[in-house]
Amino acid sequence: MTENSDLPASPSDLVPVAIEEEMRSSYLAYAMSVIVSRALPDVRDGLKPVHRRILYAMRESGFTADKPYRKSARAVGDVMGKYHPHGDSSIYDAMVRMAQHWSMRVKLIDGQGNFGSVDGDSPAAMRYTEARLAKSASFLLDDIDRDTVDFQPNYDESENEPTVLPASFPNLLVNGATGIAVGMATNIPTHNPGEVIDATLAMISNPDITLEELMEIIPGPDFPTGGTILGRAGIRSAFATGRGSVVVRAKADFEEIRKDRKAIIITEIPYQVNKATLQEKIAELVRDKTSDRHIEGISDIRDESDRSGMRVVIELKRDATPEVVLNQLYRFTQLQSSFGVNMLALNGGQPQLMGLRDVLSAFIAFREEVIMRRARFDLNKARDRGHILVGLVIAVANIDEVIRIIRAAPDAATAREQLMAAEWNAADVEPLLALIHDEGNVVVNGKVRLTEAQARGILELRLQRLTGLEREKIQNELSEVAVKINELLEIIGSHIRRMEVMREELLLARAEIATPRATEISDYAGDQDDESLIEPGLMVVTITRDGFIKRTPLEVFRAQNRGGRGRTAAGRRGDDIVVRSFNAHTHQWVLFFSSGGKAYREKVWRLPEASPTAKGRALVNLLPDLGGDEITAVLPLPQDEELWDALHLVFATASGGVRRNRLSDFQNIRSSGLIAMKLDEGDRLIGVATCREGQDVFLATRKARCIRFQITDETLRVFAGRGSTGVRGIRLADGDEVISLCVLNHVDATVEERQLYLRAANAKRRAENAADEADAEETGVDAEEVVLPDGSALTPERFTELEAAEEILLTVSDGGFGRRSSAYDYRVSGRGGQGIANMTFSSSKRGFEVVATLPVLSGVDVMLVTDAGRLIRVPVDQVRVMARQASGVTLLRLDGTEAVTSVFPVLEDDSSDGDDDAGADGESTGNEG
């Protein structure tokens, strides 16, 4: 090219370059510049260039921890003007982060003023805030002026800056780092400073220490915002390979803030989570009821954080389950988040993915080099000082001759040359030269000459140093220098000695920066679902006429004798009454069938839990798509879902219609519901039960009629669709309706066998209850004695066989009376008939309608609920077994116009796991009232 740059280049000056090669080389140069000079930290001091320059510039400007605060703008200006030719905002942002206690495990900048908050608030402008180096920063900067690290020219070569700081603790692990380079990124978590230093000391003592042994010292990251790390697999992967995922969960407690009101209290959140954004996200999920991430049960969110610490209060609704709400928060918000560990750092100027041992080994090697370079620097300084002291000793020993030379010299330069040219007696200094390993003076024939440095030192000697005391000080200082030189030579020549020095300095740093661990580590190895948070147990589920539902632990209700007063079962709204109750396990599925013929599905634990006196929660809130319909039938399904494929569902309507479907038709029900059965206008579902081929359907009506027929393809086929109305199950009289559906086991026995069995069984029961005969209040009569067609009586074996297969039905009237009857007393007939009598009402007793007829097992209890909200739990064994037409005995004494509205059995389960199958084979007996 010509010297005049304005002239165009001649063809001979142009060099052809392939564009692919130029782009490749230019991109690589740019990428390495970003990687090395901007985005990645150095494994030795754990700092990126901007952080290193900030700390060094503040030290050079005197903004140390023992000095007053200075304006942040001044520090930023020094950094930008001398070392970092980029925007002031990037420098100030880096400075602010080093001053935030929620960002750094050990703060390196001591800030005064508004430096932002964990809510994501921006810091005040740099002209308003003040800063200085924190005390901990001195452990990164000490000895930087003792040739411990290399320096390089700054961007305009007007200053020199360190390529690395002589850090005395592994800052990369302690404070972590985050950065995005070109084609690579780093994300290193913070760790507890005390644990990191202890692990470094352990590796110094045993360089072959295993990762498992190190993890006993450093169990995992330690974030400044606390929280809980779930599981150790991700930690071990990160420590072993440099990559891993750590799941961090907020710390939360439950607190009762007022009567019947609980709140979730958040005291710690995952690292790098914005608290304000977190609260906004929670509120958004609470408001958005259409989202599949909708969180139900939260009534209010408020931030009560102050100087004493973080406190976010999430107030729950009265019927919410705290464990479930908290688990939803963990699942759908940043109360639980994953920290992707990517321990990428510069090692020897090259990016390298490093595990825990790699980082500690690199730091120990670097720190040993710092100690070696510092020792050499100090040795040179000590030798220089010792060399000057040797000259002073010679001058003091020959003071008269020295004074003569100086007085006779015309100027200082001549005096210096004459002092250097003179030969002095080496007898006094030769041992000193050996003591301080001084190679500057050469002894020849017992004589020694002064060096220029010694001559200058003698000329600068003050007269007061010639006193006896001062001469003694020179000798003492020379001895001290000799001791120091020997120590430094030992450090330089011994790896073991350098490790001892490193250990001592690490202990000093630990005493200053070590703090207790903030983040707990849980051995919990996986995510929990909501159901796993719910303790298994039996619940009583109650539904009112106005559509309120609740569940109450079964143990709340203790058994009473028949004829007792009961206890309050539910708080009522106006004239609301309990119309349906059943017991189920917390982990059971429950099918809800609406008056409009739709089916909904929900787990028992998702139903609102409330006390016996609470009214519960509206079903329209639990099932938003219910609309104006009401739930008319409820079916708890077997817990063992493998049984579902072998089971069918039988439906019964108030008008006497029945239908059979496969249970699998209702296995997948969306939240908006599923069409279950088409109903005629004015009709409604009164019961749904699981059944098998060959069992019997039993329907009972309000006017004391009942029918029993077998389930076969001829009598009640399986319907392929869910949109049909079904077939007639019983023909009803005017004003009558079906109130109970249950499924009974079919027993092959003739009418005569059943009658003979009933006669023998009644006689046996009378004998067993002879003492209570007077209180039986029985109005029915025993069946007449019959014999089998061949003239033989019922054999004991056949009696035992029928007794083992016998089922007992309990019938209860609205007047509080009830009786048990054998299922053999109800003959099997064809479907669609008018049925037979189920109960006889006595004019002397209250009640003119049947509330429910249901099968009960010996040893269990039944619960009766009244329209006044009272409930009584009665052992069925206290209810006599009578003929099916008997009016029964008093089960519950009623007040005024009070009437029984609901009856259901309590099926206790004494198994160790607490599971409750509704029936011996896991089948439900359907709706009991």
Active site residues: 128
**What stretch of H or E contains 281?**
helix 275-287
What backbone phi and psi angles, to 5 degrees, belong to 534? -95, 125
Residue 613: both structure tokens together? 């006196």
Q: What single string gives the DSSP state of each residue in 287-324?
A: H-TTSTT---SEEEEEE--BTTB--EEEEEPTT--HHH
| Cβ burial 361-399 (10 Å sphere, 16+ → b, else e) | bbbbebbbebbbbbbbbbbebbbebbbbbbbbbbbbebe
Which residue has 């994953």 as its token pair? 338
Contacts of 401 (CB under 8 A, 6+ apart): 422
Report d(CA 505, CA 173) in Å as an integer.
18
Specify whether the backbone of 51 is left (phi greater than 0), alpha (psi in -120 to 50) or beta: alpha
Local structure of 686: helix, strand or coil? strand
Local structure of 185: helix, strand or coil? strand
Query: What is the number of other CB atoms lying within 10 angstroms of the CB of residue 696?
Result: 21
Report d(CA 270, CA 273) in Å as an integer.
6
Residue 242 · residue 358 · CB < 8 Å: yes
Q: What is the end-to-end Cα distance of the chain in Å, rounded? A: 104
- The C-alpha angle 735, 736, 739, rounded to 5 degrees, equals 140
Report d(CA 503, CA 368) in Å as an integer.
11
Report d(CA 635, CA 15) in Å as an integer.
87
Closest C-alpha to 343, from 180, 176, 106, 521: 176
**Partners of 543 in the beta sheet?**
549, 580
Q: What CA–CA distances, in Å, run from 72 to 140, 626, 725, 769, 857?
A: 20, 62, 80, 96, 82
Where do runs of H (alpha helix) occur along 596-675?
A: 619-622
Residue 225 · residue 236 · CB < 8 Å: no
Residue 100 · residue 30 · CB < 8 Å: no
Which residue has 């739990």 as its token pair? 873
Beta strands at 228-230 and 520-522: parallel, antiparallel or unpaired: parallel
Report d(CA 345, CA 343) in Å as an integer.
6
Residue 116 DSSP one-character state: -
